[in-house]
């Protein structure tokens, strides 16, 4: 695929220390606008910490993060969200008794600015906004996975793992991000289920908006199929960068992975 190599996200000497542990060690990397980038590395190499620092969960010890030329180092999670960066988490963060709709709509922080007064006393306007959100969630589900759209008002607890993962991804997509950070979407699912969910994401990407993706994933088949470029971390540093074929044949990457066993 031919993308203009415009940088959407840059990390400059990004460092994150937790006491004596250096999770990110002067990390330098960039993500190109419109690409699907694989972020790889052995367990504990700093992948999730990178997402946590970018999305405002942690303030880095030093270094900077730049999104579309704007410094977002240490910005709050809410501010990062407003820049149109969203993410999923390795462990499920769904509210099981709530419906599919509730769990997805909650991801649209743009609508969290109405106070109690509005919700209690502006009933007509509240109802009309609510209907708009239902329509928005329904449209997303129809594009993402029409079978799930049919279950929009069912409680999440009644749904299988694959649908729960879809809901988490839709929660990150409902605000129409420009950059989606996916943290190990295959976790807890079979090969085939993961492939299905990835196809759903590609479907939204081709029909709604060609957003950029950074994909943390241990399943190499998925990385091979989905990504155009990969970056490999080890001990919080970038040790390799290139296409899937280039990084799997890179001796330093092979040592990093083998050294783990």
Binding residues for ligand ATP, per CB under 6 A?
18, 21, 23, 41, 43-49
DSSP one-letter string for 29-75: EEEETT-EEEEE-STTSSHHHHHHHHTTSS--SEEEEEETTEE-TT-
Q: Which residues sit opposite 234 in a β-bridge?
A: 237
CB atoms within 10 A of CB 53: 26
For the CB of residue 41, give the shortest distance to ligand ATP in the complex, in Å: 5
For the CB of residue 46, give the shortest distance to ligand ATP in the complex, in Å: 5
**Nearer of residues 44 and 155 to ligand ATP, judged by Cβ:** 44
User: Could you tell me the two tokens for 177?
Assistant: 């991000």
**Contact in structure between 141 and 200 (CB atoms under 8 Å):** no
**Nearer of residues 57 and 152 to ligand ATP, judged by Cβ:** 57
For the CB of residue 198, give the shortest distance to ligand ATP in the complex, in Å: 19
For the CB of residue 55, give the shortest distance to ligand ATP in the complex, in Å: 13
**Nearer of residues 3 and 17 to ligand ATP, judged by Cβ:** 17
How distant is the alpha carbon of residue 86 from its chain centre? 6
CB atoms within 10 A of CB 231: 23
**Nearer of residues 41 and 107 to ligand ATP, judged by Cβ:** 41
For the CB of residue 168, give the shortest distance to ligand ATP in the complex, in Å: 16
């Amino acid at each position: 695929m031919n993308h203009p190599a415009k940088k959407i996200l840059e990390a400059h000497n990004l460092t994150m220390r937790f006491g004596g542990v250096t999770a990110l060690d002067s990390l330098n990397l960039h993500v190109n606008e419109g690409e699907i980038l694989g972020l790889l590395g052995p367990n504990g190499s700093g992948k999730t910490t990178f997402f946590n620092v970018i999305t405002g969960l942690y303030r880095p010890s030093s270094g900077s993060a730049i999104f579309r030329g704007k410094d977002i180092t240490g910005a709050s999670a809410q501010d990062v969200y407003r820049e149109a960066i969203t993410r999923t988490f390795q462990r499920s963060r769904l509210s099981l008794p709530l419906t599919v709709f509730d769990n997805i709509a909650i991801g649209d922080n743009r609508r969290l600015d109405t106070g109690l007064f509005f919700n209690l006393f502006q009933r007509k306007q509240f109802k009309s906004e609510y209907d708009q959100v239902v329509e928005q969630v329904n449209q997303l589900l129809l594009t993402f996975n029409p079978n799930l759209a049919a279950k929009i008002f069912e409680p999440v607890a009644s749904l299988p793992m694959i649908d729960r993962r879809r809901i988490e991804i839709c929660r990150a997509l409902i605000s129409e991000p420009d950059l989606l950070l996916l943290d190990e979407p295959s976790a807890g699912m079979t090969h085939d289920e993961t492939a299905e969910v990835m196809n759903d994401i590609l479907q939204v990407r081709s029909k709604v908006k060609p957003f950029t993706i950074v994909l943390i994933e241990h399943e190499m088949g998925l990385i091979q199929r989905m990504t155009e470029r990969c970056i490999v971390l080890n001990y919080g540093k970038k040790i390799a960068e290139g296409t899937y074929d280039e990084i799997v044949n890179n001796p330093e990457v092979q040592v990093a992975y083998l050294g783990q066993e």
